Structure 1
Amino acid sequence: MILENFKRESLIPLPVSFISTVSEDGVRNIAPYSCVMPILRPFDLVCVASAKMRDTFVNIKSTEEFVINMPGANMADKVMPTAMHVPFDVNEFELADLKEKPSTKVQAPGIDGCYAWMECKLHSMHEEEYNGVPYLLIMGKVVHLEIDDDVYNPEDGSWDLEKAKPLMMTESDRGMHFCTVKSIDKFEPYGAMFEDGKDPLSWMYEKKEVPDTGK
């Protein structure tokens, strides 16, 4: 079956994240985003694709900070309350009945109950236009990365999908279908991509002292 080009979203399983920001006046904002991706393996950068007319964009442009919160499937009912268009002065933590998680290196709070948090400083912002519609690519530098101790294995950097149940979605003509991911118990080392069997970026994973979060 041949599909129209714009339906490519229906064929790509998308992660669901919540981006939390704070305005210059201290108003807390949350918005769900699925167009989020890391920028290559050596970098500590993430990219968020966004419509231009959003409170998230206004807050990031003015404060140059944001938090990418990774929710589990149990938070699927928080997507629509944070996606709704509401006045700029509405505290969306209160609107969605979510609790703040104090951040370490940015002013914007994280969201309690998620399994991971990426505190970001704005690296760059690219404004583009396609078929007359403006959009943004927001590049953030991750300055503090944290994951729930209950789902993370510090010995090898793996994490428990069954415990985290990352919130995902697929799309259709009618809307969003929420789901999660499941391990298929297959593993390959990064070095398998190279003729000598060695991962040239193995230095990235050398054990480093990480401050105790007190959790």
Structure 2
Amino acid sequence: MILENFKRESIVPMPVTFISTISENGVRNIAPYSCFMPVLRPFDLVCVASAKRRDTLVNLKSTGEFVINMPGTDMADKVIPTALHVPPDIDEFELAGLKEKPSKKIKAPGIEGCYAWMECKLDHIIEEVYNGFPYVLILGKVVYLEVEDSVYDKESGSWDVEKARPLMMTGSDEGMRFCTVNSIGKFEPYGAMFKNGKDPLERMYKKEEGQECK
């Protein structure tokens, strides 16, 4: 079956994240985003694609801060409440019945109940227009990364997807279908991609003795 180009969400599973921000006036905002990705393995950058008319965009432009919260499947019922178009003076933590998790490096709060939090400082924004539709790419620098101890093995730097049950979605003609990921039990080291069997970025992942894991 041949699909139209814009139906990519019908075949590509996408992560569901909640981006939390705070306005200059102190109003807390949350919005779900699935067009999100890390920017290459060596970098501490993340990229989020967004429509231009979003309170999230207004807030992070004015404050330069945002938190990318990674929810599990138990928070699927919070997607629609945080996606509703409401006036910018509405506290969306209260609207969605969510509690804030104080951030360590920025003022914008995280969301309690998620399994990981990326506190970000705005790096830069790319504004474009495609077929008459304006959109932006938000590049953020991760300044603090935290994950629940129960889902992360600090010795190997791997996490248990079965415990975290990361919330994901696939699109359809009628809406969103929520899902998660499962381990298939197969592992390959990064070095397997190179002739000498060594990962050139290995030193970045080797923690010095006594170094605190952030």
Deviations 1:130-150 (A, max 9, x none): 011100000000000000011
Q: Secondary structure at the match of 2:156?
A: coil
Corresponding position of 1:160: 160
Q: Secondary structure at the match of 1:127?
A: strand
The code of the aligned residue for 1:77 comes to D
Q: Is the 8 A contact 2:154 2:213 kept in 1?
A: no
The code of the aligned residue for 1:101 comes to K
Q: What displacement does 1:211 show?
A: 6.2
Q: Measure, in 1, the Cα distance between the counterparts of 2:204 and 2:52.
A: 35
Alignment of 1:173-212 (within 5 A): 173-208=173-208, 209-210=211-212
Q: Measure, in 1, the Cα distance between the counterparts of 2:17 and 2:126.
A: 21
1:13 lines up with 2:7 in the alignment: no
Corresponding position of 2:39: 39
Corresponding position of 2:30: 30
Q: Measure, in 2, the Cα distance between the counterparts of 1:210 and 1:152.
A: 14
Q: What displacement does 1:210 show?
A: 1.7
Alignment of 1:1-215 (within 5 A): 1-208=1-208, 209-210=211-212
Q: Measure, in 2, the Cα distance between the counterparts of 1:15 and 1:64.
A: 23
Gaps of 5+ in 2: none
Q: What displacement does 1:100 show?
A: 0.3
Gaps of 5+ in 1: none
Q: What displacement does 1:153 show?
A: 0.3
The code of the aligned residue for 2:200 comes to P
Q: Measure, in 2, the Cα distance between the counterparts of 1:46 and 1:192.
A: 26
Q: Secondary structure at the match of 1:42?
A: coil
The code of the aligned residue for 1:186 comes to K
Give the TM-score normalised by structure 1: 0.97
Seen in structure 2, the aligned counterparts of structure 1 residues 186 and 54 have a Cα distance that, compared at 3 Å, is same
Identity across aligned pairs (percent)?
74
Give the TM-score normalised by structure 2: 0.98
Q: Measure, in 2, the Cα distance between the counterparts of 1:36 and 1:5.
A: 19
Q: Measure, in 2, the Cα distance between the counterparts of 1:86 and 1:132.
A: 25
Q: What displacement does 1:15 show?
A: 0.2
Q: Measure, in 1, the Cα distance between the counterparts of 2:166 and 2:207.
A: 26
| Length, aligned pairs only | 212
Q: Measure, in 2, the Cα distance between the counterparts of 1:211 and 1:24.
A: 32
Q: Measure, in 1, the Cα distance between the counterparts of 2:88 and 2:204.
A: 41
Seen in structure 2, the aligned counterparts of structure 1 residues 195 and 211 have a Cα distance that, compared at 3 Å, is closer
Q: What displacement does 1:3 show?
A: 0.8
